[in-house]
């Protein structure tokens, strides 16, 4: 038998919106043998839900209490005061029930769930359901005129979108957090809230966090890059305060990237390329270095060496493409290891046709590997077949050096970095040299136009496949010669290429800080053979084709 005051507490169901307030009913009955103490405190433990008000809605007249808002003759007024999540209860006689209307306020990050009233160090459990502070979130693409466009977006392109939110009846719904990489499809590069809303958006780590202003969130314009490997329907979620996850109500349809389409994006992006040769040809004795690798040379595979791919910490990979080529042998499938514990995996590539020139003597392939990279990695490629070629380029005067090589180009998004323009194209361009000229000044190949830009070059990487290792290649930017480099030199910076004793038939060149804007062109002079020292002009000038693979350019803001 209970000899002291003891309570039986029952509650109505409680549901409150995060950042808002709600009321619910509580019935408290003294099931003990003695009256309860006057001004006994009642508190609420509610996972972010605080007790902010209690009013007495009913009590027997014999209690000396009155219903809130009503005056009972002879019944003194009773005030229930609340401070800091604690309210003071009136004295309750044995066997008597009182009814309260309780007001609670949920913080924007309230979790809800199991809760309890605490009266006199005794817990009375109940459940609180906390609803998100937003009724819905929407993400809508815009067309080039800034008009909402319900049509699909194209993989490998930049598009503007609008994030909008509808409040769930509360003025303080709390922040919205979107991952920079939304699913496997979109990468958020920039965010611009409507100034009238007073909202603030900032990138924190791998998240975009938008905090509503006094007038709600308003429309937030997002600069988005559609990942190159995205396709089909994509749905997204956002996080609200308290780590609640809510769905973005309308998905996005993505049209796949078509073939080998170039990429040109402007925003907070960066890029890099790495590569390696898989075949080398040593120059045999008594053969001048001007002679291309032939059947008299020793062809040797190059032991695979991991190439260090450096991507800034906190960045998100937006695009990665592996390109490989060989002069002979089956090379449509290779084995690649992208580090990070993934282990080797076989990649099947898509054949990339040569634009301009026959190009039938070299096969080049490409594979989108965006989803295989998450950051810096040690990359190794093996099983890239090649051997000494006996195929003569039908458009040139001599056979092409044997070739086995690969290039990996990566573009990443870093919202905290400077604004840049990044251009990528797997050109696979081939120039057809004119017939050899005997005597007189040598005729040059028609230069290949690689890229046109309206801003200066910050950094660029150029892959040259199968051109004569001893030809003099001249690179011009807006008609101004950048650097004339011969394989084996370090100007501007030869990442991979031939040396005076070893030919690879492949160059990966990096250059930077080019102030001129305009066409980037490459030409190749070939080399003299059969030179008569007594009559230099009588020598034969061999015109070698140029074959250019991937070109990756990072330009200053343009």
- What are the CA-CA distances from residue 24 to residues 54, 86, 103, 393, 539 (Å)? 10, 16, 7, 86, 100
Query: Best-predicted range by mean pLDDT among 225-229, 284-288, 435-439, 509-513?
Result: 225-229
Q: Is the pLDDT score of 32 beyond 80? A: yes
User: pLDDT (tens digit, 9 = 90+) per residue, 390-418?
Assistant: 444 444 444 555 678 899 999 999 988 88
Write the CATH number of the domain with boundaries 7-131. Answer: 2.60.40.10
- Dist CA 210 CA 200 (whole Å): 6
Residue 295 confidence (pLDDT): 46
Answer whether 280's CB lies under 8 Å from 502's CB.
yes
Domain edges within the chain = 7-131, 134-255, 265-556
pLDDT in tens, 357-375: 555 567 789 999 998 988 8
Question: How many C-beta atoms lie closer than 10 Å to residue 150's C-beta?
Answer: 9
- For 161, list phi and psi in degrees, rounded to 5: -135, 160
Q: Quick one: pLDDT band at residue 485, thresholds 50, 70, 90?
A: very low
Contact residues for 215 (Cβ-Cβ < 8 A; gap 6+): 196, 197, 198
Give me the CATH code for the 134-255 domain, please.
2.60.40.1510
pLDDT in tens, 255-300: 998 878 889 999 899 999 998 888 776 654 444 433 445 545 566 6
% of the chain beyond a pLDDT of 70: 71
Q: Tens of pLDDT along 110-166? A: 777 888 888 878 888 888 888 778 878 888 888 888 888 878 899 999 999 999 988
The C-alpha atoms of residue 176 and residue 406 are separated, in whole angstroms, by 43
Give 242's pLDDT tier (boundaries 50, 70, 90). Answer: low
Does the pLDDT value for residue 534 go beyond 70?
no
Q: How confident is the model at residue 1 (pLDDT cuts 50, 70, 90)?
A: very low
Cα-to-chain-centroid distance, residue 231: 15
Contact 440, 539 (CB under 8 A): no
Tell me whether domains 7-131 and 134-255 share a fold. yes
pLDDT tens, position by position, 415-435: 888 899 999 998 777 765 555
Token code pair at residue 94: 């044995």
Long-range contacts at 62-65 (CB < 8 A, ≥ 24 apart): 62/93, 62/96, 63/90, 63/91, 63/92, 63/93, 63/96, 63/98, 65/90, 65/98
Q: What is the DSSP string of 98-155?
A: EEEEEEEEE-TT---EEEEEEETTEEEEEEEEEE-SEEEEEEEEB-TTS-B--SPEET
551 pLDDT exceeds 70?
Answer: yes
> In this predicted structure, what is the pLDDT of residue 14?
83
Q: What share of the chain is helix, strand, coil (3-state, %, to 5)?
A: 5, 50, 45
| 517 vs 214 pLDDT, higher one | 214
Task: Work out the pLDDT band at 203, boundaries 50, 70, 90.
Answer: very high
Provide the pLDDT for residue 516.
66
The single residue listed with the structure tokens 């209307």 is: 101
Confidence of residue 380 (pLDDT cuts 50, 70, 90): confident
Say how far apart CA 105 and CA 54 lie, in whole Å: 12
- pLDDT tens for 322-361 read 998 887 655 778 889 988 777 899 998 888 887 765 555 6
pLDDT digits (tens, 9 = 90+) for 90-103: 888 888 888 888 88
């Amino acid at each position: 038998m209970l000899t002291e005051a003891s309570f039986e507490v029952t509650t109505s169901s409680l549901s409150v919106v995060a950042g808002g307030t709600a009321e619910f009913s509580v019935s408290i009955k003294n099931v003990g043998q003695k009256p309860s103490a006057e001004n006994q405190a009642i508190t609420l433990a509610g996972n972010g839900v605080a007790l902010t008000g209690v009013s007495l809605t009913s009590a027997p007249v014999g209690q000396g209490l009155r219903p809130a808002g009503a005056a009972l003759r002879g019944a003194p007024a009773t005030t229930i005061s609340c401070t800091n999540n604690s309210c003071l209860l009136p004295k309750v006689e044995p066997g008597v029930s009182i009814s309260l209307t309780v007001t609670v306020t949920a913080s924007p990050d309230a979790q809800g769930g199991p809760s309890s009233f605490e009266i006199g160090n005794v817990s009375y459990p109940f459940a609180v359901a906390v609803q998100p502070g937003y009724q819905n979130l929407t993400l809508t693409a815009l067309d080039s005129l800034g008009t909402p466009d319900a049509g699909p977006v194209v993989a490998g392109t930049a598009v503007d979108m609008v994030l909008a939110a509808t409040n769930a009846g509360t003025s303080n719904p709390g922040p919205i957090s979107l991952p920079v990489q939304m699913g496997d499809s979109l990468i958020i590069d920039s965010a611009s809230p409507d100034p009238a809303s007073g909202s603030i958006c900032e990138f924190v780590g791998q998240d975009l966090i938008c905090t509503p202003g006094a007038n709600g969130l308003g429309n937030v314009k997002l600069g988005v890059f559609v990942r190159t490997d995205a396709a089909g329907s994509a749905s997204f979620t956002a996080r609200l305060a308290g780590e609640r996850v809510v769905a973005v109500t309308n998905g996005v349809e993505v049209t796949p990237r078509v073939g080998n389409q170039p990429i040109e994006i402007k925003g907070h992006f960066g890029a890099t390329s790495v590569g390696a040769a898989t075949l080398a040809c040593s120059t045999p004795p008594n053969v001048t270095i001007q002679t291309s690798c032939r059947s008299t040379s020793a062809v040797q595979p190059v032991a695979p060496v991991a190439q260090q791919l450096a991507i800034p910490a906190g960045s998100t990979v937006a695009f990665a493409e592996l390109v490989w080529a060989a002069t002979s042998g089956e090379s449509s499938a290779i084995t690649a290891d992208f580090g990070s514990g993934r282990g080797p995996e076989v990649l099947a590539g898509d054949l990339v046709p040569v634009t301009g020139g026959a190009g039938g003597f070299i096969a080049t392939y490409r594979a989108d590997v965006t989803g295989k990279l998450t950051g810096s990695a040690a990359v190794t490629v093996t099983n890239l077949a090649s051997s000494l070629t006996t195929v003569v380029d039908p458009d040139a005067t001599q056979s092409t050096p044997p070739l086995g090589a690969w290039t990996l180009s990566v573009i990443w998004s870093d919202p905290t970095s400077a604004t840049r323009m990044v251009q990528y194209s797997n050109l696979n361009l081939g120039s057809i040299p004119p017939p050899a000229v005997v005597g007189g000044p040598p005729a040059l190949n028609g230069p290949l136009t690689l890229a046109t830009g309206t801003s200066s070059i910050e950094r660029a990487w150029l892959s040259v496949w199968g051109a004569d290792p001893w030809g003099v290649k001249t690179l011009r930017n807006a008609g101004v010669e950048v650097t004339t480099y011969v394989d084996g030199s370090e100007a501007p910076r030869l990442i991979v290429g031939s040396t005076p004793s070893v030919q690879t038939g492949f160059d990966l060149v990096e250059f930077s800080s080019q102030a001129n804007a305009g066409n980037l062109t490459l030409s190749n002079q070939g080399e003299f053979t059969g030179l008569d020292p007594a009559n230099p002009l009588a020598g034969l000038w061999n015109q070698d084709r140029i074959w250019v693979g991937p070109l990756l350019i990072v330009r200053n803001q343009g």
